[in-house]
Amino acid sequence: MLKIRAIFINTFREAIRDKILYNLLIFALLIIGCSILLGTLTIGEQQKIIKDMGLASISIFGTLIAVFIGIGLVYKEIDRKTIYNIFSKPVHRYQFIIGKYLGLILTLFVNVLIMAVVFLSIVYFMDGVVGFSLIQAIFLIFLELMLITAVALLFSTFTTPTLSAIFTLAIYVIGHLSGDLKVFGAKAEQVWVRYVTQFLYYVIPNLENFNIKGLVVYNLSLPDHFFLFSFLYGILYICIVLFFSIFIFERRNFK
Amino acid sequence: MIAIKTVGLRKVFKTGIAKKNEVLKGLDLEIEQGETFGYLGPNGAGKTTTLKLLLGLIYPTSGSAFILGESTRNVRVKNLIGFLPEQPYFYTYLTAWEFLDFYSQLFDILGKFRKKRIEELLSLVGLKGKCEKLQLRKFSKGMLQRLGIAQALINDPQVIFLDEPFSGLDPIGRKEIRDIIFKLKDSGKTIFFCSHILSDVELICDRVGILVDGQLRALGKIEDLVDTSLNSAEIAFYGLKEGSKQEIRNFCTQMVDHSDKTLAIFNDRESVDRAVKIITDGKGSLISLTPVRQTLEDIFLKEVITEKQIS
C-alpha cells in the first residue's frame, strides 16, 4: 500500500506543479463567473442560465483537465524514462497504474471541488438556496470525469499523447451520442450498420447516464434509482477499463 | 555465491512488419558476489538491453536471468538491487529530499527509518545540507549523478547496476563518483558496471566482459585479457655517434630524429636490452625508457574491429 500511496502522492504533486492545469482552472472559473453577466441579459431565466453554464463549464473543463493530465502523466514517465527507475524497484506494474490513477483522480477532485465551490456560491448568492439535485449533478459529472480519466490512462499505456487525446475525446463525443446511435442502428436497413452501431453502443460507455443537467436546470425529478444505477455503472466501467490498462501495461516492453 | 547469472539470454525486437532485430544473441554470464564487473561494448552492442532484461523492464525472447538465485521476473528480487540509469531520468519538480523519500517508499521503508537513511545517503554523496530543499531542475549534472547514486543505494542493495556513471562528468565529478564506487566495492557489494570510459573500468573492475553485436567476445580478469609483460618500449637518447645509431636502426622497428635527440621503438625485450647496451657503450645519454603495455582499450578495439571485418 505504501508503494501505491507514494506513486499516488507523486502523481498529484506533479499535476499540481503543472502550469497548464492552472490555466484551465482559471479559464473555467472565468466562464462560471461570466454566467452571471449572461444571466442578466435574460428575463426571468437568470437562475437557469447560471446553472446551465456552470454545470456545462465544470463538465467541459473537467473533461479537458482529465484528458490532458490523464494522457500526459503516464506517457511522460515512459518518454522521460523515469519509469526505468520505478520498475527497477520492487513495484508491480498494477501498483503503478492504480497509484497513477488515484493521483489523477485526486487532482481532478481538487479541481472539480474548486469549480463547484465557486459555482454553488454564485447559485446561493443569486437564488438564496442550493438544491441537493445540483450536488447530485456535480457528483455525476465527477464520476464521468473519473471514467474519462481511466479511458485516457488506458490509451496512454500503449499509444502517443496525440492519439490518446484524439481517441479519448472521440470516446467522450460518441459516449454522449450512444443513445442516438442505438436509435439510428435500429432504423438502419443494412444489417452491418445495425451490428456496428450495436457494437459501439455496448462497448463505448453511455455517458448520458451521468448527465442530469437538463433535469436539474428545469427542476425536474430524477427517475427512480437513476442515481444508484449511474453510480454502479460508472464504477463497473472504471474497473473494466483499469483492468485492461493493467493487462496491456503488464506485457509492455520499455525500450 | 553467484550474484548475477544469465542463461542463453536472447532479445529480439520487432522493427516493422516481418522485420526483426536480434539485439542480444544468447548471453551466458556468471558474476560472483562481491565482484566488480565491467560490461563493455560499442553503442548498439546490447549493453542497455542486457541491463533492462536484468531489471525486468523488458522481457526476454528466450533464456533466463537470475539475481542471487532468484529469477529477474520476480518483482521481489528488486529488493536486493540498486540501479543508476545512464541519464539522470528523474522527476525535476521534486526536491532532493522528496526525491529520495519517494524512492524509499517504493521499498516500503517506514517513516522513521526513511529520514535516517536519507540523511546517511545525502552525506555519503556529499549533498547533505546543500540542496535538500532545491528542486532537481536546478541541479548540475554532477549533483544529479550523485543523487542518482544515493537513490540506487536507498535499500542498501547487494547488487548494484551502474549504467555509464561517469557520462557527462568533469574530472572532479568523476573522481568523486569513483571514490563512492570504491567505498561500495570495499563494503563487499556486487557491482555491474556499464561504461565507455575504459581507463575507469581498468581501474575499478575485477573482471570485464566485452559485448559486440549482441555476443560476448571477451570475458575474464583484466590481467588475463591484457598482456601486462613488457613486450615493446620506446627509448629516447642523444649524443650517440652515427655508426652506433645505424647499428640500432638495423633492429628497431622505427627511429625518429628530433633536433639532437633520437626516439627509437622496439618490439621485443632483447632488442631493448641490446639498444641500451649500445647507447651506454657508445657514450650516448639515455633520456628515457618507456615501456608500451597493452591496455584494455587495445583489447576492446581489437574485438570491435574483428567483428566489423567479419560482418
Which secondary structure element, helix H or strand E, spans residue A11, and what is its range? helix A2-16
Residues B215, A39: Cα–Cα separation, whole Å:
74
Instruction: Return the axis-axis angle of helices A161-187 and A191-203, rounded to nearest 10°.
Output: 130
Q: Are A65 and B65 in contact (CB under 8 A)?
A: no
CA atoms within a 13 Å half-sphere pointing along the CA-CB vector of B12: 10
Out of A7, A14, A85, the one facing B89 most closely (by C-beta) is A85
B79 touches chain A (CB under 8 A): yes
Q: Which of A75-79, B88-92, B106-110, B125-129 has the lowest mean pLDDT?
A: B88-92
Question: Is B89 in contact with A17 (Cβ distance < 8 A)?
Answer: no
Residues B119, B112: Cα–Cα separation, whole Å:
11
* pLDDT tens, position by position, B102-118: 999 999 888 788 888 99
- As a whole number, the mean pLDDT across chain B is 85
Average pLDDT over residues B122-138: 80
Is the pLDDT score of B12 beyond 80?
yes
Q: How many CB pairs under 8 A join A and B?
A: 77
Question: Is B90 in contact with A92 (Cβ distance < 8 A)?
Answer: no
- Give B222-231 contacts, CB < 8 A, sequence gap 24+: B222/B296, B225/B296, B225/B299, B226/B293, B226/B294, B226/B295, B226/B296, B226/B298, B226/B299, B227/B293, B227/B294, B228/B293, B228/B294, B229/B293, B230/B269, B230/B272, B230/B291, B230/B293, B231/B267, B231/B268, B231/B269, B231/B292, B231/B293, B231/B294
pLDDT bucket at B192, cuts 50 / 70 / 90: very high
User: What residue in B sits closest to A80 (Cα-Cα)?
Assistant: B89
> Residues in chain A with pLDDT < 50?
none
Q: Are B93 and A11 in contact (CB under 8 A)?
A: no
Give A7 to chain B, closest Cα distance, Å: 8
pLDDT given for residue B129 in this prediction: 75
- B55, B57, B93, best to mutate vs chain A, most A CBs in 10 Å: B57
Out of A17, A83, A251, the one facing B93 most closely (by C-beta) is A17
pLDDT bucket at B159, cuts 50 / 70 / 90: very high
A221 touches chain B (CB under 8 A): no
* pLDDT tens, position by position, B272-296: 889 999 998 888 888 988 877 667 7
pLDDT given for residue B228 in this prediction: 58
A255 touches chain B (CB under 8 A): yes
Query: Collapsing DSSP states into helix, strand and coil, what is residue B216?
Result: strand
pLDDT given for residue B135 in this prediction: 83
A20 touches chain B (CB under 8 A): no
DSSP structure class, residue B95: B
Q: Which A-chain residues 21-80 have CB contacts (< 8 A) with chain B?
A: 80
Residues facing B194 on adjacent strands: B39, B163
* pLDDT tens, position by position, B25-74: 888 999 999 999 999 888 888 888 999 999 988 889 999 999 998 898 88
Out of A3, A84, A255, the one facing B106 most closely (by C-beta) is A3
- The label of the residue with cell 581507463 reads B199
Domains, chain B, in order of start with CATH, read 2-225 (3.40.50.300), 232-292 (3.30.70.600)
Out of A2, A86, A253, the one facing B59 most closely (by C-beta) is A253
pLDDT given for residue A94 in this prediction: 93
Give A91 to chain B, closest Cα distance, Å: 7
pLDDT given for residue B130 in this prediction: 67
- B105, B118, B160, best to mutate vs chain A, most A CBs in 10 Å: B105
CA atoms within a 13 Å half-sphere pointing along the CA-CB vector of A104: 29
Which residues of chain B are within 8 Å of residue A7 when distances are taken between CB atoms?
A: 106
- The label of the residue with cell 472559473 reads A29
Question: Is A87 in contact with B59 (Cβ distance < 8 A)?
Answer: no
Residues A73, A77: Cα–Cα separation, whole Å:
6
Which residues of chain B are within 8 Å of residue A253 when distances are taken between CB atoms?
A: 13, 57-59
B215: left (phi over 0), alpha (psi -120 to 50) or beta: beta
pLDDT bucket at B229, cuts 50 / 70 / 90: low
pLDDT given for residue B176 in this prediction: 83
